[in-house]
Amino acid sequence: MIGFFDSGFGGLTVMKDVVRLLPRYDYLYLGDNARIPYGTRSAGIVFEFTRQAVDYLFKRGCPLIIVACNTASAAALRRIQQEHLPAAWPGRRVLGVVRPAAEAIVEKGCRRVGILATEGVVESGSYPVEVHKLDPTVEIVQQACPILVPIVEAGEQEWKTADVAVAAYVKMLLSRNDGLDTILLACTHYPVLMPIFRQHIPDRISILEQGPLVAEKLKDYLERHRWIEERISRNGERIFCTTDRNERFDRLARLFYGAPVTSTMVRLGDNL
């Protein structure tokens, strides 16, 4: 199976696009809903939680894991790839969502880009760093949106507060650079707020969401890494796990995944 991990529901917005593009593989999703949000936590804690999730998915047999969470990708991915994999899981692979989005920004020729993300992602500087490795002339401004993940995770995206919060964050972002050509929704929870973002972001600015970008990049990765592609099972399975109440997960996950979801509750690490 291809493992997918997020702090909660957000990674389902990415998995939905990946499953659509690559339906032949099996997928195992893990949402750490019991410990969300990650975006306001320290990088050290996010690393530890992500390592536990990765260990869980590898123990379930995944040869490849997508960390479909920008916060976890920014805080933990490099260390997991460089230290944890060689020591504990040689021959397995973990990919994130920051690098594919940075590549897409440059490939699409975006010149002035706004990043909307969690506090953890903004503070990590991962987007400016990754984009500037590819093209140092792209202008980037960022805005942290700490209240959006709790709103979305509560299933309250239709609530008036969601509209007020999105309007305020977009205004703050545009006050940093009013000539943006692109805004990246750099948190996998935000696509469910897309209609509200579109309402508050001027039409001349393109909005990028990560699902389609990650799906294309993963397809390309699997074509270039046949040795790992051959190890992924293909029985039409989609398995969903959460660290919190699974009946609640099933009810809300549908909004993110776009199809009915039946999950089981699992435990990660020693502290749950």
Q: Is 252 in the site for ligand DGL (CB under 6 A)?
A: no
Q: Which of 62, 69, 145, 241 is catalytic?
A: 69
Which residue from 16, 51, 189, 238 is in contact with ligand DGL, where contact means CB under 6 A? 189
Taking CB under 6 A as the binding criterion, the range among 68-76, 191-199, 246-254, 260-268 that sits at the site for ligand DGL is 68-76
Q: Is residue 241 annotated as part of the catalytic site, yes or no? A: no
**Residue 6 interacts with ligand DGL (CB under 6 A)?**
yes
Query: Residue 84: phi, psi to the nearest 5?
Result: -70, -45
Q: If binding is defined by CB under 6 A, does position 36 make contact with ligand DGL? A: yes
Q: Give the range of 2-10, 77-85, 163-171, 211-219 binding ligand DGL by CB under 6 A.
A: 2-10
> Is residue 96 close enough to count as binding ligand DGL by CB under 6 A?
no
149 binding ligand DGL? (CB under 6 A): yes
- When asked if residue 126 is in the footprint of ligand DGL (CB under 6 A), the reply is no
Token code pair at residue 259: 């199809």
Q: Which region among 50-58, 122-130, 183-191, 214-222 touches ligand DGL (by CB under 6 A)?
A: 183-191
**Terminus-to-terminus CA distance in the chain, angstroms?**
25
Please name which of 186, 233, 209, 256 lies closest in space to residue 61, comparing C-alpha atoms.
Answer: 233
Say whether 62 is catalytic: no
52 is a site residue for ligand DGL (CB under 6 A): no
Residues contacting residue 103 through CB under 8 Å, at least 6 positions apart: 134, 217
CB nearer ligand DGL, residue 10 or residue 63: 10
Q: Which is nearer to ligand DGL, 92 or 189 (CB)?
A: 189
Out of 1, 30, 65, 69, the residue judged to bind ligand DGL by CB under 6 A: 69
250-258 contacts at long range (C-beta below 8 A, 24 or more positions apart): 251/155, 252/9, 252/155, 253/9, 253/12, 253/31, 255/9, 255/155, 255/157, 255/192, 256/9, 256/10, 256/12, 256/13, 256/16, 256/191, 256/192, 257/12, 257/13, 257/15, 257/16, 258/16
Q: Which two tokens stand for residue 78?
A: 């490099």
Nearer to ligand DGL, 74 or 201 (CB): 74
Structure tokens at 166: 């999105």
Residue 16 is a binding residue for ligand DGL (CB under 6 A) = no
**Binds ligand DGL by CB under 6 A, chosen from 4, 25, 27, 38:** 38
18 binds ligand DGL, rule: CB under 6 A: no
Contact 28, 2 (CB under 8 A): yes
- Judging by beta carbons within 10 Å of its beta carbon (0-12, 13-18, 19+), is residue 148 exposed, middle or buried? buried
Q: Applying CB under 6 A, which residues contact ligand DGL?
A: 6-7, 10, 36-39, 69-71, 118, 121, 149, 187-189
So which residues are the catalytic ones?
69, 187
